[in-house]
Structure 1
Amino acid sequence: MRNILMVLAVVLLVSGCAGMLEKQEPVCSGTALIAGQETTVQIYGVRKVGSQTQYKGGDPFGWRWVSKTNFIRTTCDK
């Protein structure tokens, strides 16, 4: 009986977290100059911090918030 309750608890815990791992779609894209090469980067979020605009850049930025100045052009300002 105890094993059944333990299994049910684990199933409920896992099913409750199922929506947290959703695939995030990019909101726009940009071109960054990295090591002298133009690289296309998917952008997953845009935010303002004070007077600075930041983008949540995918690879090669590691899905971190970086300054708009890291990009030479973007499609975010439509």
Structure 2
Amino acid sequence: MKYVALLLSIILISACSGSFKKEQPVCTGNALIGGQESAVNIYNVRKVAGQTQYKAGYPFNWQWVGKNNFIRTTCT
């Protein structure tokens, strides 16, 4: 029974290993966080109701945040 459970675990792990696609940043930005300038990777850009939003990585935890959170960006 232990071997069957081990085999199933290995199959499940190997099946999921290729399903996560690593996103590459489309541009970068600098944000002022706690008085310190910090470089942030930006993974997507969208406009909502005339406002530009960036899907920002750490320290914004891959959430959509407004353009006004950044001092400057390389996004076009």
TM-score of the aligned structures, taking structure 1 as reference length: 0.75
Structure 1 position 17, deviation (Å): 5.9
Indicate the structure with greater helix content: 1
Between the aligned residues of both structures, percent identity stands at: 63
Q: Structure 1: how far apart are the matches of 2:58 and 2:23?
A: 13
Q: Which residue of 1 aligns with 2:32?
A: 33
- 4+ long deviations beyond 4 Å: 13-19
Q: Which residue of 2 aligns with 1:69?
A: 68
Unmatched runs of 5 consecutive residues or more in structure 1: 1-12
Q: Map 1:1-78 to 2 at 5 A.
A: 20-77=19-76
Report deviation, 1:15.
Answer: 7.7
User: RMSD of aligned C-alpha atoms?
Assistant: 2.2
Task: Note closer, same or farther for the CA distance 1:19–1:70 as it changes in structure 2 (3 Å cut).
Answer: same
State the distance in 2 between where 1:29 and 1:17 align: 30
> Structure 2: any 5+ residue segments left out of the alignment?
1-11
SS of equivalent residue, structure 1 residue 41: strand
1:4 alignment counterpart: none
